[in-house]
Amino acid sequence: MIEKMKMVHVVTTVSHKDEMLEGLRDVGLLHLAERKSANHAAIEKFTELSKTVSRLQDYAPDKSKETTTPPVLSDDEFNKIYRRAKEALNKKDSLNQEISSTKAEIERIEAWGDFSPADVKELQKRGYDLHFYRVGTAECEQIMQDENIKAIKLASVEKTDTLAVLGTLPPDIQATEFSLPARGLRDLKSDIERFTKESDECVEFLKKAATYENSFHDQLIKAQNEENYSSASETATTEDRLVWISGYVPEADLGTFKSAATRNNWAYAIGDVSPEDETIPTKLRYNKVTKLIEPLYDMLGILPGYREADISLWFLLFFALFFAMIIGDGGYGLIFLIAAIVIIYKTKKITTPVFLLLVLSISTVIWGAVTGTWFGMESAMNVPFLRALVIPSFANYAEKFGVASATQQNNIMKFSFTIGAMQMELGSLLAAKKKMDNKDLSFVADLGWMVTIVAMYLLSLVLVLGESMSVTPIFIAIAIGFVLVVLFSGMAPGVSFSDGVKAGLGGAFTSFLNTISCFGNVMSYIRLFAVGMAGLAIAQSFNNMAAGLANGPLVIVAAIIVIIGHVINIVMCILSVVVHGVRLNVLEFSGQVGLEWTGIAYDPFKMNDKIKE
């Protein structure tokens, strides 16, 4: 359920501002209604530390090797390591630039050989204005024949004629002047060796600093808490000699908050949240069952809005079914189940994500057993125990149960449409109930959608599965649903009936398009059948490929094909769950409920023990 929030204002004197903020942080219940940016120093500290930690990961030791983790450093000890680490990173960056530019200079002058630029500069000081050029053969002959140009031909550079000239060449002669380097080739190579040695020394220290991962993580948490505190301090409003801050507290935690206020001598006011307030945070209170959906919510980054419906239980139930139907293979379900058991055995605990994996894997095993699908092997149906678990009308190897293949496929498609219609009906019912609780007459429009969904479901059975029934009552039901939606969709608390009807009529075209879309939504559940069948077909294909090689020495190749093929299929099935299974809940079902996932996560001002993204 979504916890009810209360608006709380806390007031104290300016001289007790820090005490108030520290107390609020300790109690950890107030979600700030407004959050200003922290001061520049706090932001800069966390940002710099984050960058350093990120870069040190490149030098972290191999965690697969057993190494002793150093203890967490004190603040003074850490500051010394941190300062030297930043210096080493900066120095290494500078050295890398020096090495890069020096290599480029070596590459530029290497063809000219090892010479001393100092000697040339000494000649220039004595009045010999020497310049060096690369020229073409024709230009070289022209220059050498020109009595006004004093030039000496040098050894060729990369098969190009070169000249040493006193003064500069006339601009009408095509030539490329060689810029004299500051240092000779031997000195530059010596610089490379020195830079590389110093860079290696930096790397060695950075590897040492990276072993203090726990210390850096601890300091990151401290820096982020300082930034959060600074943000709260900047947010607090000051006027005359008073300072106050406002935020939201869950109604269920008001007793704890009041006790803290009494201990800290805070003045406070508590009121209901404003109906127009769009920034109220959402805090979901899970029970033992619905808590299983929390990891999926976190992974998808979705959260219902404060005034939206909580569909956690239904999301979990339908997602488990969709997961099982899309994976579709009891053998794959057993692999997931074994993986969950291994994790539990190694960690000695059952975390919520692992518990969710257990539920999903068991659901998959059950669906695989019902359809007789075990690693896509038809021979599995020769096992009496596995055969006894199958529902013949759902069996993927229907002929073994005296059922026509087309009939079995129609049964699975009908089941998919039925599940879809049930889920969308439930969505409309939840939306209607919420509106009825709020005395919102637009709930009648949701009842209209319920009529429309049933009609669209029946229409899909006629058009897709060819079931024999009269379409006249179906279209009458669609028309009734459409009229109810048009007449009542504009209703709202405080809106007169006539104004609501006008608003509904004004959106009649949109309602018409949504009615057509409703048929598409019901039809979209056929993906449960289609994706499941695709996974089975892929598994069978790899099995058949391997069967042709399962004789003699090629049996090893056959085994490799089977293993790789099923691994690829499992990965593709999991991706299909994300694309299709999640979509049906987040879009089709949620859309019918009127859920837009606009929630702002409840994030109280408190001392955090882990880094927040």
Residue among 385, 344, 384, 389 at smallest CA distance from 365: 389
Task: Tell me the C-alpha to C-alpha distance, in Å, between residue 309 and each of 2, 72, 306, 507.
Answer: 8, 45, 8, 24
Q: Are residues 389 and 241 in the same domain?
A: no
Range of the domain at 585: 309-593
Least confident of 111-120, 184-193, 287-296, 349-358: 111-120
Q: Are residues 30 and 127 in the same domain?
A: no
Q: Is residue 457 part of a domain?
A: yes
- Name the domain count of the chain: 4
Q: Are residues 556 and 457 in the same domain?
A: yes
Q: Is residue 325 part of a domain?
A: yes
Q: Is residue 548 part of a domain?
A: yes
Q: Are residues 400 and 387 in the same domain?
A: yes
Asked whether the predicted pLDDT for residue 69 surpasses 80, the reply is no
Q: Is residue 469 part of a domain?
A: yes
Asked whether the predicted pLDDT for residue 590 surpasses 80, the reply is yes
End residue of a domain, out of 145, 165, 183:
183
Q: Is residue 62 part of a domain?
A: yes
Residue 179 CB: number of other CB atoms within 10 A? 10
Q: Is residue 600 part of a domain?
A: no
Asked whether the predicted pLDDT for residue 141 surpasses 60, the reply is yes
Convert the pLDDT of each residue in 411-428 to its tens digit. Answer: 999 999 999 999 999 999
Higher pLDDT, 65 or 310: 310
Q: Are residues 221 and 359 in the same domain?
A: no
Q: At what angle do helices 312-327 and 527-547 cross, to 10 degrees?
A: 30
Residues in the chain: 613
Confidence of residue 66 (pLDDT cuts 50, 70, 90): low
Asked whether the predicted pLDDT for residue 480 surpasses 90, the reply is yes
pTM comes to 0.81
Q: Are residues 490 and 587 in the same domain?
A: yes
| 454-458, long-range: CB < 8 A, 24+ apart | 454/421, 454/425, 455/481, 456/421, 456/518, 456/519, 456/521, 456/522, 457/417, 457/418, 457/420, 457/421, 457/522
Q: What is the pLDDT of residue 67?
A: 64
Q: Are residues 322 and 365 in the same domain?
A: yes
Asked if 246 and 274 count as a contact pair (C-beta separation under 8 A), the reply is no
Convert the pLDDT of each residue in 262-279 to its tens digit. Answer: 999 899 999 999 988 999
Q: Are residues 135 and 271 in the same domain?
A: no
Q: Are residues 442 and 475 in the same domain?
A: yes
Rounded Cα distance, 395 and 107, in Å: 72
Q: Are residues 23 and 172 in the same domain?
A: no
Convert the pLDDT of each residue in 72-108 to its tens digit. Answer: 899 999 999 999 999 999 999 999 999 999 999 999 8
For range 340-350, the mean pLDDT: 93
Q: Is 530 helix (H, G, I), strand (E, B) or coil?
A: helix
Q: What is the pLDDT of residue 566?
A: 94
Q: Are residues 475 and 564 in the same domain?
A: yes
Residue among 600, 610, 608, 604 at smallest CA distance from 24: 604
Q: Are residues 259 and 331 in the same domain?
A: no
The gap between the terminal CA atoms of the chain, to the nearest Å, is 25
Q: What is the pLDDT of residue 65?
A: 65
Convert the pLDDT of each residue in 362-384 to its tens digit. Answer: 999 999 999 999 999 999 999 99
The rounded mean pLDDT for the chain is: 92
Rounded Cα distance, 477 and 471, in Å: 10
The rounded percent of the chain whose pLDDT value lies above 70 is: 99
For range 542-556, the mean pLDDT: 82
Rounded Cα distance, 20 and 6, in Å: 19
Confidence of residue 64 (pLDDT cuts 50, 70, 90): low
Q: Is residue 599 part of a domain?
A: no
Rounded Cα distance, 356 and 368, in Å: 18
Q: Is residue 296 part of a domain?
A: no
Q: What is the pLDDT of residue 52?
A: 95
The rounded percent of the chain whose pLDDT value lies above 90 is: 80
